[in-house]
Chains A and B, each alone.
Chain A
Amino acid sequence: MAIECLVLGAGQEVGKSCVVVTINGKRIMFDCGMHMGYVDHRRYPDFSLISKSGDFDNALSCVIITHFHLDHIGALPYFTEVCGYNGPIYMTYPTKALAPLMLDDYRKVMVGRGEEQQFTNENILNCLKKVTAIDIKQTVQVDKDLQIRAYYAGHVLGAAMIYASVGDAAMVYTGDYNMTPDRHLGAAQIDRLHLDLVITESTYGKTIRDSKYAREREFLKAVHTCVANGGKVLIPTFALGRAQELCILLDDYWERMNLKVPIYFSSGLTIQANLYYKVLISWTSQKVKDTYATRNAFNFKNVQSFERSLIHAPGPCVLFATPGMLSGGFSLEVFKHWAPCESNLITLPGYCVAGTVGHKLSDKTTKVDVDKDTQIDVRCKIHRLSFSPHTDEKGIMDLVKFLSPKNVILVHGEIKNMVNLKGRMESELGIQCYYPSNNETVSFPTTHFVKADASAAFIRSTLTPNFKFLKDEAAEMAPVQVLDERVTQGILTMEKGQKVKILHQDELLATVGTEQAEI
């Protein structure tokens, strides 16, 4: 009996998360993401490793998607509609609701860039028809042996950590998670479980962030100073997640400071997404849940929608534009216009994928090649956002310590982070840790319980407490201990041709047929 873990994506890198785990013969695919940095075959996981013949329905018991980010769900329509997987797919309700928005937006961006279209809108809709939605802490019996359960992960709306168990073996796949709550989402929350394996993300495996209050204060100060001096603030974000978080933060601040500078949302997508947020209140943070009866936190008072003509309008403003990391689309367009002006401010997310403009800006260069023909002279101020929906090193360690599994596999992070985490986990927690690269397989044995009959006397004895007193001055443990010895006193007997049986110690003598002998 063993667990086998095949990492198809996000092994020692960030992007195209996809891990196929075989537990006691059941194969589960966790996440089915795509890589934003590539446009060739490397953008999808190598599905052929699952089944040479392409018969995925028999090769996989189910596919589970943790959340709606493209690097976790982007390859799903391709896998189901192009590769032909027809088996069960599980994701949480918000993920199911928001996934088509994300996928379709991405498809449009691809088309806009003149790339080959990988899947159509119809493909997306068909794909989502095969999805079964699950709720937090709902246990789903996928088949006779396989059980899965979702836990709250924080990260984005509807993000989940997945617990899966087959027989006696159990594991948790965390997906992306956040151990500290932010304004609109709560912190990850899970039970103490007996686990053989935890597969965790390690995006910030070498960073320890201090209080979020300081980060919020700095961001607000930067934005406030900029608009107070008449500058324009560009905040490139993904439509879902950080956009709402920052917007709640700014909206609160505007209210408190009584500011009148307009805040814009660039696309209809974000406004549509806000609608979903308003409906899916039960997936948000405790604060939003507590106050929503009086006022829905996603009813932003100061937010308006943006029109293209406003790019050149005079006066200060704050603009949320998609996509984040300035990888193209509207945010890049606005960037081209606003970056050369000194009074403006661009905020960049903490992590930018290599190859994007956002990544290039990180290197403190003043001249940036936006595309083949254009070079932009960046004179505006740049504020690095350290709001991240990912947990930091301490959070990862805390979670692993809380769960105390037998093994840990690190995915979704850079190798240097993984090395650091592996070192800490093995030395501090004594937990075996692995970080396989893409297309590599790790396997290890699992817990296996043997069923045995129990004699009546043994059952009786286990029901009745049986105290034992220890007094051991030498031991490092407590000098005085009172233990309940009842369970440890059985004796396992294996007779030929019969089932394994546990007897009470008194019975053994009778069975063996000897008197008690002192040795």
Chain B
Amino acid sequence: MEQHLLSNFEQILTNPTKSSLKPFSIARSLILNPSTTDQTISSVIQTLSTNPQFHLHHVITLLSEIPILRPHFSATIIAVLRSLSLTRPDIPPRAAALALSTLLSLPPPPDSDLVPSFSEMTEAVFLSLCFGSCVPVRHRLLLEAEKFDVRPSILLTVFLGFSKDPYPYVRKAALDGLIGLRDRIVVEDRGMIEGCYLRGVELLSDAEEGVRCSAVHMVSEWGKLLVANSDDKSKMDLSDALFVQLCSVVRDMSMNVRVGAFNALGKAEMASQYLLMQTLSKKVLEENKFLGEISGKHLGSRALSAAGAFLHGLEDEFYEVRSSACYSLRMLAILSSDLAEKVLGLLMDVLNDDSAVVRLRALETMHHIAVSGHLKVQEMHMHMFLGTLVDMNSSIRLTSRNVLRLIKFDNLPMFKLAADSIIHSLETYPQDEPDVLSVIFEIGRNHGSFAVSIADETFSQMEPFSASNWDFNSSRTAAMLTLAISARLSHDIQQRLYIIPPTIFSYAVTMLGRLSNGLTEVMDRNTLLSYLSHCSSSTEPHHIEAEDDLATDFNCHILVSHVADPLELHDKEYNDVKLVLANIAEIWKPLTKFGCTSELLMALRCWKEELKTRITDSHHSSSVLTFTLEYIVVVKLLSKARWHVMRPLDFVYNKAGDVGYILRKLEKKIRELRYRFIGLTKEEELHIEELRLVACTLRLSNFDPHFHESALKKLLIYKETSAEHSRFVAELMKTLEKDESDTFRFREPLNLFSLKQLDLSRNLRHMRAEVEIQDNDWLNPVPFVAGLPVGIPLKLKLHNTPLEAKLWVSMSRSKGVIHYVFINLKEFGGCDEMREFRFIAPFYKTPKVNSFTLVLGIGMECMCYEEVPCFRRHGPSHELVYLCKEKQVFLSSVRK
């Protein structure tokens, strides 16, 4: 059958007298049939390519179909198509265009030396087809222009020229091409940009809807480019002109054009205040008021074009336009509070819209205004706005609540109205409870005095005897209780002293589950419980003590940690720690003595793992626990180092580097143990000092060339101040007095060393820092100019740092060269427990590179350590302990 069809096809095709489409339909059926053999296909290709004189269009169509179904024929097809010279006038333009796009869609053949000539050829064919008389081909080529390898400069000219084509579809394709081109190339010739922009403006009044749509988009894009490429003087004028052009199309008769216009207006970057005001009023505003602002030349006509643009958008018949107009109002609202107020008035009316999409968009815009700090809700708006809290649509309710969170109420009636409405909405839509409670908590905290007076009013009616009448299942009760709690935790410190009867809090305990559900973001259930029980148990009118417990900080997390941490550990945890520490002391001596270091390490590891499970939240892990974990690490390192130093001599194994690394790490850890915890007792300090002596001694006995006995002696001087010496220290002092130079002389004291049990006090506090580099990652680098200093914005959170602590920001670009910046804690507020502030760290030595990364850390000087003699001129005079993990900062040079 296949053979029969093939021969039939060849026969008809080679017969020059007949000219019919039959052979092509036969060929097509052969090509499309998946079971046709490759051999047949090859002969079909052969026949088609040798007889191209007839119906070239059909031949090319068939050839183009083959590689889609049979990719392995691509190379052959490319060869055949290339052999046709596409610029020949007798090839129909459609066929040529098809061949061209097929050629481009196929993967290029491996012999890449052909490519340059090929791309030149494509450009020539593209241009000749575009300028040919076949309109559909022109349209199609312009649409797909990106595919063809045409130089952008030529493409730009082609597009610009064809934007005046008599055929609207060609015009539209040309405009779309220009829009696409703007993103891909950088045009620097101002004349060219202006030419394109003005062509777009001209086409805004095209007779065809589609062309106008594209023109709006194009004017917006190229207009921005034009503004960006002009000098500062004319920038304002040009951006005004662009804004007015866009405003002038908002009254277009086509819905799509209007939507496009509002989308473009929303993206506008700037416009003068006068014009913006004008867009909110259909009447032309008094010019005198603004005369100083812009040149009078275009004032009248511009005002007329811009008049009421947004009003028209908001009252449009189509919800698409209304929603787009709501969106674009954002741009206005963030510019000034005057505008924001007017915009808000309009948006409040839009909340009455019948389309949920539009209402939602309006609320989103309001939220946007609120975030930018311009939201001033007036009494007349309240009715409309609060109505959205009970909207049928849940996302509208959610957005409305989000706006409510940010509203500042000036007076009690307004606040009361809002509180009533949200409670009403809670009763109507109980499924929103968690979010509603969190909103109530938030607005209550922000308006402490109002919340107190409402809570007071509600609960004062509630006598202890009639409390049974209270329905403790109702949402209203939950809401009122939340309000009472929030009033207690208000930002307004005055209000916290206000008395709310403790009974209220004991009622609240009964609703713990519901309340904590709503307040998950603010505090967890246990915290809430302990807080509530705390508040309900104290019956005295003034709970000064309780008030002290509440953090003075605005940050809720801190507040929580203070209320929750009934100072640090629960007893169980503390006992565990104690047990572990005792065990360590007990097993250390025998195991090291008999050389069972690996068993010792294993035991230590197990304890470490066990203690780690106690850490619930890494941020708020208790200081004692942290200390113990660090201590275990130190013991581990010590045991390892001791094993290396003390084992029988074996020169093959004993490489100084190995131990050196462990020793350095050990010293660092000991330093951290000593200086990152405040509230250590004298005994604990001595214990750590002894460990440090051991580490030094280990180092001395390990041929460290950089380390001298004098250093150790200095340590011992400090040590002498303490009352009694351990056997190790006594022996060590003796050894040093002997003044020998034998490296093994330290073995004796080391052998005498035994780990004593550490009695840990509960009052430890762990110093730590949280560093955040704002908006910085490898995609958003901090810009810098080579040779000039660059400021790195840091957000710092310091925990348990005393005021006298000397903190440094260390920044290093390459290893070794570290740049230090001092942080004077006295300049920033906060208490020892918690300081939070922003700090700009200057980095001076910016290199001449495009981009680089800095490694940044926060270090504290170890004041008790000896001064580092030849430390850098600007930098810490003592060793540093680092309070946080190192952070990477990405910097990139500013492009000219």
Interface centre among B133, B138, B197, B350 (most CB of A within 10 A): B133
Interface residues of A in 449-467 (CB under 8 A from B): 460, 463-465, 467
A484 touches B161 (CB 8 A): yes
Contact check, A477 vs B352: say whether CB atoms are below 8 A apart: no
**CA–CA, A484 and B304, complex, Å:** 33
Q: Report the nearest B residue to A487, measured CB to CB.
A: B166
The interface bits of chain B over 585-616 (1 if a CB of A lies within 8 angstroms of the residue's CB, else 0) are 00000000000000000000000000000000
CB distance from B290 to the nearest CB of A (A): 19
Contact: A208 with B282, CB < 8 Å? yes
- A180 in contact with B195 (CB, 8 Å): no
Whether a CB of chain A sits under 8 angstroms from the CB of B165 is: yes
Interface size range of chain B in the complex: 35 or more
Confirm or deny: B107 has a beta carbon within 8 angstroms of a beta carbon on chain A. no
Contact A213 B352 (CB under 8 A): yes
Output the least CB separation between A176 and chain B (Å): 18
Q: Which residues of A contact B314 (CB under 8 A)?
A: 211, 213
Across-interface contacts of A463 in B (CB, < 8 A): 133
Give a binary string over B145-165; 1 marks a CB under 8 Å from any A CB, 0 the rest.
000000000000100111011
Q: Does B165 contact A482, Cβ atoms closer than 8 Å?
A: no
Residue in A181, A189, A256, A478 whose CB lies within 8 Å of B191: A478
Q: What is the bound-complex CA distance between A236 and B222, given in angstroms?
A: 54
Binary contact track A392-407/B, C-beta < 8 Å → 1, others 0? 1010001001101000
Within 8 A of A (CB), among B172-224: 189, 191-192, 194-195, 197-199, 205-207
Q: Which residues of B contact A180 (CB under 8 A)?
A: 312, 315
Instruction: Report A195-222 CB contacts with B as 1/0, cut-off 8 Å.
Output: 0000000000000111111101100000
Q: Which of A181, A211, A291, A480 contacts B317 (CB 8 A)?
A: A181
Complex partner residue of B161 from A181, A210, A482, CB under 8 angstroms: A482
Whether B315 pairs with A211 at a CB distance below 8 angstroms is yes
- A291, chain B: closest CB distance, angstroms: 8
Bound complex: CA A460 to CA B134 (Å): 11
B residues near A477, Cβ cutoff 8 Å: 198
Asked if B402 is at the interface of the complex by the 8 Å CB criterion, the answer is no
A484 contacts across to B, CB distance below 8 A: 161-162, 164-165
Residues of chain A lying within 8 A (CB to CB) of residue B517? none
Q: Are A212 and B283 in contact (CB under 8 A)?
A: no
CB pair A402 B252 closer than 8 Å: yes
Would you call A192 an interface residue if the criterion is a C-beta within 8 Å of the partner chain's C-beta atoms? yes
Tell me the complex Cα distance, A481–B198, Å.
9
CB <8 Å contact, A189 and B198: no
A467 interface neighbour in B161, B312, B318, Cβ under 8 Å: B161
Q: A461 to chain B: closest CB distance in Å? A: 10
> If A213-B352, A465-B162, A465-B165 touch, does A480 touch B283 (CB 8 Å cutoff)?
no
Cβ of B349 within 8 Å of any chain A Cβ, yes or no, is yes
Residues of A within 8 A of B283 (CB): 208, 210
- Contact residues of A between 365 and 400, Cβ < 8 Å to B: 392, 394, 398
The answer to whether the Cβ of A448 comes within 8 Å of any Cβ in the partner chain is: no
**Contact residue range for chain A?**
35 or more
Segment 821-875 of B: residues with Cβ below 8 Å from A = none
What residues on A are CB-neighbors of B165 within 8 Å? 465, 484
**A189 to B253 alpha-carbon distance, docked (Å):** 6
Residues of B within 8 A of A210 (CB): 281-283, 308, 311
Docked complex: A271-293 residues within 8 A CB-CB of B: 285-287, 291
What chain A residues lie within 8 Å of B191 (beta carbons)?
471, 473, 478-480
Given A213-B346, A213-B350, A460-B133, are A181 and B315 neighbors across the interface (CB < 8 Å)?
yes
Q: Which of B197, B315, B316, B355 is in CB contact (< 8 Å) with A213?
A: B315
User: What residues of chain A lie closer than 8 Å to B54, measured between beta carbons?
Assistant: none
Select one of B195, B317, B387 contacting A187, CB under 8 A. Answer: B317
Q: In the complex, are the beta carbons of A186 and B315 less than 8 A apart? A: no
**Is B131 on the interface with A (CB-CB < 8 A)?**
yes
CA distance A465 to B161 in the complex (A): 9
The reply to whether A402 and B253 form a contact with Cβ atoms under 8 Å apart is yes
**Shortest Cβ distance from A468 into B: residue:** B161
Chain A residues, Cβ within 8 Å of B194: 478-480
How near does chain A come to B717, taking the closest CB pair, in angstroms? 84
Docked pose: A484 CA to B158 CA in angstroms: 10
1/0 per residue, CB under 8 A from A, across B667-695: the answer is 00000000000000000000000000000
B117 near A: Cβ within 8 Å? no
Q: Within the assembled complex, what's the spacing in Å between the Cα atoms of A464 and B252?
A: 32
B307 at the interface (CB under 8 A from A): yes
Q: A208-B282, A210-B283, A480-B192 are in contact. Are A464 and B164 (CB under 8 A)?
A: no
In this assembly, does A515 line the interface, its C-beta being within 8 Å of a C-beta of chain B?
no
List of A residues within 8 angstroms of B304 by Cβ: 428
Interface centre among A180, A210, A394 (most CB of B within 10 A): A394
Is residue A101 within 8 Å, beta carbon to beta carbon, of the partner chain? no
> Is B251 close to A, CB under 8 A?
yes
Query: Is residue A495 within 8 Å, beta carbon to beta carbon, of the partner chain?
Result: no
A483 at the interface (CB under 8 A from B): yes
Residue with the highest number of chain B CB atoms closer than 10 Å, among A286, A464, A487: A286
Q: Which residues of A contact B157 (CB under 8 A)?
A: 467, 469, 482
* Interface check A116, CB cutoff 8 A: no
Q: State whether the Cβ of B132 lies closer than 8 Å to any Cβ in chain A.
A: yes
Which residues of B have CB within 8 Å of A186?
Answer: 317
CA A464 to CA B127, docked complex, whole Å: 12
* Min CB–CB distance A393 → chain B (angstroms): 9
B301 part of interface (Cβ distance < 8 Å): yes
From residue A49, how far is it (CB to closest CB) to chain B in Å? 35
A214-B198 contact in complex given A402-B251, A484-B161, A484-B164, C-beta closer than 8 Å: no
Cβ proximity bits B349-367 to A, threshold 8 Å, 1 near / 0 not? 1101011000000000000
Contacting A at CB under 8 A, from B284-314, are: 301, 304, 307-308, 311-312, 314
Within 8 A of B (CB), among A172-199: 179-181, 186-187, 189-192
Q: Who on chain B is nearest to A460 by CB? A: B133
A185 nearest CB neighbor, chain B only: B317
Choose one: B130, B197, B253, B317; the contact of A285 (CB below 8 Å). Answer: B317
Which A residues are in CB contact (< 8 Å) with B162? 465, 484
CA distance A218 to B347 in the complex (A): 16
What residues of chain A lie closer than 8 Å to B161, measured between beta carbons? 465, 467, 482-484
Interface positions, chain A 477-505, Cβ under 8 Å from B, are 477-484, 487
CB distance from B229 to the nearest CB of A (A): 13
Q: Mark B133-148, 1 if CB is under 8 A from A, else 0.
A: 1000010000000000
Contact of A480 among B195, B205, B206 (CB under 8 A): B195
- Given the complex, which residues of B lie within 8 Å of A392, measured CB to CB? 282
Q: Assess the A286–B317 pair: CB atoms within 8 A.
A: yes
Q: Assess whether A192 is in contact with B253, with CB atoms less than 8 Å apart.
A: yes
Residue of B nearest to A252 (CB): B354
Q: Would you give the shortest CB distance from B734 to chain A, in whole angstroms?
A: 95
Report the Cα distance A478→B164, complex, angstroms: 15
User: Is there an interface contact between A214 and B195, defined as CB atoms closer than 8 Å?
Assistant: no
Decide: A190 near B160, CB < 8 A? Known: A180-B312, A211-B346, A465-B165: no
CA distance A141 to B295 in the complex (A): 53
A217 CA to B132 CA, complexed, in Å: 61
Residues of B within 8 A of A (CB): 130-133, 138, 157, 160-162, 164-166, 189, 191-192, 194-195, 197-199, 205-207, 251-253, 281-283, 301, 304, 307-308, 311-312, 314-319, 346, 349-350, 352, 354-355, 387
Further contacts, 8 of them, CB under 8 A, given A256-B387, A401-B251: A180-B315, A186-B317, A192-B205, A210-B311, A214-B349, A477-B198, A478-B191, A478-B198
Which residues of chain A have a CB within 8 Å of any CB of chain B?
A: 179-181, 186-187, 189-192, 208-214, 216-217, 252, 256, 285-287, 291, 392, 394, 398, 401-402, 404, 428, 460, 463-465, 467, 469, 471, 473, 477-484, 487
A-B contact pairs, 27 of them (CB 8 A): A181-B317, A189-B253, A191-B253, A192-B206, A208-B283, A209-B282, A211-B315, A211-B349, A213-B314, A213-B346, A213-B349, A214-B349, A286-B319, A287-B317, A287-B355, A291-B354, A464-B132, A464-B133, A465-B165, A467-B157, A473-B191, A477-B198, A480-B189, A480-B191, A480-B194, A482-B164, A483-B161
